[in-house]
Structure 1
Amino acid sequence: MAQTVSIKEVARLADVSVGTVSNVLNRPEKVAESTRIRVQTIIEQTGFVRSESARQLRAGSSRMLAMLVLDMGNPFFVSVAKGAERAARDAGLGVMLGNSAGRADEEAYYLSLFAEQRVRGVLVTPADHSGRHVRDFARHGIPFVHVDRMVPESEGCSVSVDDVVGGTLAVRHLLAAGHRSVTYISGPMGLPQCRDRHAGALAALAEAGLPADALRHVEAARLDVASGIDAGARLLGLRDHPTAVFCANDLLALGVLQSLYAAGVRVPDDMAIVGYDDIEFAAAAVVPLTSVRQPSARMGRTAAELLIEETGEEAADHRHRAIVLQPELVVRGSSLRRPA
């Protein structure tokens, strides 16, 4: 293993003080050009890397944000993370990523780890519906922003999408196509996103003068493809098949599509499908998937910008905000034909 070069060794080889090397690294404008070039040459030759933990102790702040997402297996959260990473990079910061996988115990583990690392701030999509772990984390005094979850401004900043509007867009589209037998396939209804999308679907029925019981509901164990396949099989087991399905996310919808395809059910001729998120795979499905698009990358970037503002030089002027972005419906082949 190669020996780590210390800042003292760099100073000795460059024939300068340790303070001069520190200035080259942190305040280069204070060092004469010839000295700066000599020190930088030694740094390049020796492969010296500054200790970020030591720098953090001296400066009293970290250059790392942390992000805890609900499911890194979902391309939606990958896109959110990319948006956050881009904003952090533009500000000269990095992002440490954790995946709770929808588990409260994993959420508690990562929040504790982020606190130990004294990160600059945290972007979090809570897995614990009670919010207990986030409230516990708040005691450390590290700023945080809720992502894909709206909270009162008194509890901090948040960036979310209006999922009630999204659910309304999806079911309004199906009703406009002539469907009167619609089933909503959700993940666990403990998730606010699933509840809000269901509320939006009911709002579309009320808008059309239809009763709430015109919408049937199948609750899946998780928001993934495997759960969608299982939900599709349960759907086919119903006495009267619906003519249309609205799924709480695209992974569920793609699973349902697989299940229907395997059973010989034609989409959209026999059953229309609408998903949610508009992940990259939606347009590439065997039947291109109609989906409610969330501005995922914008959500991540906006959340990171709020966190950077709260932890930056103008933090004293920061005011918590709850930013709600708007979804849009992207219509593709999975919902285009009218029922017979």
Structure 2
Amino acid sequence: MSISVKDVAALAQVSVGTVSNVLNRPDKVSAATVQRVQAAIDELGFVRNDAARQLRAGRSRSIGLVVLDVGNPFFTDVARGAERRAAESDLAILLGNSDDDESRETRYLDLFEEQRVQGVLITPVDDVSTRLARLRARGIPVVLVDRPSDSGEFSSVAVDDVGGGYLAARHLLDTGRRRIAFVGGPLTTRQVTDRLAGARRAVESERDASLEVIEATALTVLEGRAAGERLRGRKPGDRPDAVFAANDLLAVGVLQALVMLGSITVPDDIAIIGYDDIDFASAAVVPLSSIRQPSELIGRRAVDLLLAEIDDGAGVDQVVFPPELIVRQSTAARQQ
């Protein structure tokens, strides 16, 4: 049998309106009455109909989050930071994984609109400004995550990826490496192209240095391993002396192919640096140097911007965090 608000009111000997206030606006009810109504709820096993409440309020108590790849620990940490911040405001995160697929991304945005979420956080596959503008026009604010807003139309939280790419390549150059290979892709991904642009800027400052681009089809360990196997198959004189991988998953794959599946030593033969500084980086068979992004902080700050727009009608804000170079064994200076 379904227990209703009327049943709770009858048992607590209060009006239906009082029960509603206890559920939605307890500050308007005396502590004694709240306690009596809560006791009736517990005794009857009443469960509120949140869907009906959302229809009346016109909004759910949730925020939609769409990420490129939920299998990437970086995005897992971003989601964790967003979830923790949202919980502080009594909100839940609905997580969608676009898997770098525009059609999946669109389906999640449609779903979130149907669910009447409070707002949307998104790392877009490509330019979806028209779709996001439609969400905003319908009263659903949007914040871009790990991606700047080129048009300045939306608030965003990102890291300076051009600066991060420069830091990574500059570090390799400072350790004496001169033949650098950049492993990353697809090259249509904004974060990848920005990191490559930063690396190019660093390499171009050294007359005797070169940068080779090895494009991957995805930012995964398997793609990194495939790139590493191609490098391992070259003659020693044709190999780079350093690899800058566009993320740590690629870097782990390259490392596996070179060290665990071959006879190449890291860092003496080839140095490797990744990007994101996920937990796997420090736990790799050769601890990986990396460019650290404050992943959980990115998620928290994105929710902050969203709530500011929801609650206060705050304007557009572009937050850009500086990247940090983390040096470990994989880029140590060659032993003499």
**Same fold judged by TM-score > 0.5?**
yes
Q: Which residue in the other structure is 1:180 paired with? A: 178
Q: Which residue in the other structure is 1:205 paired with? A: 203
**Which residue, out of 324, 328, 337, partners 2:320?**
324
Q: Which residue in the other structure is 1:304 paired with? A: 303
Bigger mean CA deviation after superposition, 229-238 or 158-167: 229-238
Q: What is the distance in 2 between the residues matched to 1:128 and 1:5?
A: 48
The answer on whether the counterparts of 2:3 and 2:44 sit within 8 Å (CA) in structure 1 is yes
The answer on whether the counterparts of 2:232 and 2:264 sit within 8 Å (CA) in structure 1 is no
Q: Which residue in the other structure is 2:166 paired with? A: 168
The alpha-carbon deviation at position 140 of structure 1 amounts to: 3.2
Could you list the runs of 4 or more consecutive aligned residues of structure 1 that deviate by over 6 angstroms after TM superposition? none
Helix, strand or coil at the partner of 1:82: helix
The answer on whether the counterparts of 1:243 and 1:339 sit within 8 Å (CA) in structure 2 is no
Q: Which residue in the other structure is 1:217 paired with? A: 213
The answer on whether the counterparts of 1:56 and 1:62 sit within 8 Å (CA) in structure 2 is yes
Q: Which residue in the other structure is 2:271 paired with? A: 272
Q: What is the distance in 2 between the residues matched to 1:241 and 1:129?
A: 36
Q: What is the distance in 1 between the residues matched to 2:13 and 2:42?
A: 16
1:48-197, aligned counterparts within 5 Å? Answer: 48-129=46-127, 131=129, 133-152=131-150, 154-197=152-195
Q: Which residue in the other structure is 2:32 paired with? A: 34
Q: What is the distance in 2 between the residues matched to 1:286 and 1:75?
A: 18
Helix, strand or coil at the partner of 1:61: coil
Helix, strand or coil at the partner of 2:178: coil
Q: What is the distance in 2 between the residues matched to 1:148 and 1:198?
A: 16
Q: Which residue in the other structure is 1:282 paired with? A: 281
Shift in alpha-carbon separation, 1:33–1:46, aligned structure 2, 3 A: same
Bigger mean CA deviation after superposition, 58-67 or 29-38: 29-38
Shift in alpha-carbon separation, 1:252–1:307, aligned structure 2, 3 A: same
- Percent identity, please: 52
Q: What is the distance in 2 between the residues matched to 1:141 and 1:179?
A: 52
**Where in structure 2 are there 5+ consecutive unaligned residues?**
none
1:209-242 per-position Cα deviation (integer Å, ceiling 9, x unaligned): 456xx10010011001011111111222345011
Q: What is the distance in 1 between the residues matched to 2:303 and 2:30?
A: 36
The answer on whether the counterparts of 1:245 and 1:273 sit within 8 Å (CA) in structure 2 is yes
User: How many matched pairs?
Assistant: 333
**What amino acid does structure 2 have at the position aligned with 1:264?**
S
1:191-224 per-position Cα deviation (integer Å, ceiling 9, x unaligned): 010100000001111233456xx10010011001
Q: What is the distance in 1 between the residues matched to 2:300 and 2:277?
A: 18
**What amino acid does structure 1 have at the position aligned with 2:332?**
L
**Where in structure 1 are there 5+ consecutive unaligned residues?**
none
Q: What is the distance in 2 between the residues matched to 1:302 and 1:21?
A: 36
Shift in alpha-carbon separation, 1:153–1:92, aligned structure 2, 3 A: farther
The answer on whether the counterparts of 2:22 and 2:34 sit within 8 Å (CA) in structure 1 is yes
The alpha-carbon deviation at position 16 of structure 1 amounts to: 1.9
Q: What is the distance in 2 between the residues matched to 1:136 and 1:27?
A: 32
Q: What is the distance in 2 between the residues matched to 1:129 and 1:230?
A: 29
The alpha-carbon deviation at position 61 of structure 1 amounts to: 3.2
Q: What is the distance in 2 between the residues matched to 1:33 and 1:299?
A: 39
**What amino acid does structure 1 have at the position aligned with 2:46?**
F
The answer on whether the counterparts of 1:178 and 1:339 sit within 8 Å (CA) in structure 2 is no
1:90-140 per-position Cα deviation (integer Å, ceiling 9, x unaligned): 112111111111111110110000000010000000013465543454443
Q: What is the distance in 2 between the residues matched to 1:52 and 1:232?
A: 52
Shift in alpha-carbon separation, 1:49–1:153, aligned structure 2, 3 A: farther
Helix, strand or coil at the partner of 1:171: helix
The answer on whether the counterparts of 2:157 and 2:319 sit within 8 Å (CA) in structure 1 is yes
Q: What is the distance in 2 between the residues matched to 1:82 and 1:268?
A: 33
**What amino acid does structure 1 have at the position aligned with 2:25?**
R
Q: Which residue in the other structure is 1:294 paired with? A: 293
The answer on whether the counterparts of 2:135 and 2:141 sit within 8 Å (CA) in structure 1 is no
Q: What is the distance in 2 between the residues matched to 1:88 and 1:153?
A: 27
Q: Which residue in the other structure is 2:42 paired with? A: 44
Shift in alpha-carbon separation, 1:168–1:296, aligned structure 2, 3 A: same
The alpha-carbon deviation at position 52 of structure 1 amounts to: 2.0
Q: Which residue in the other structure is 1:234 paired with? A: 230
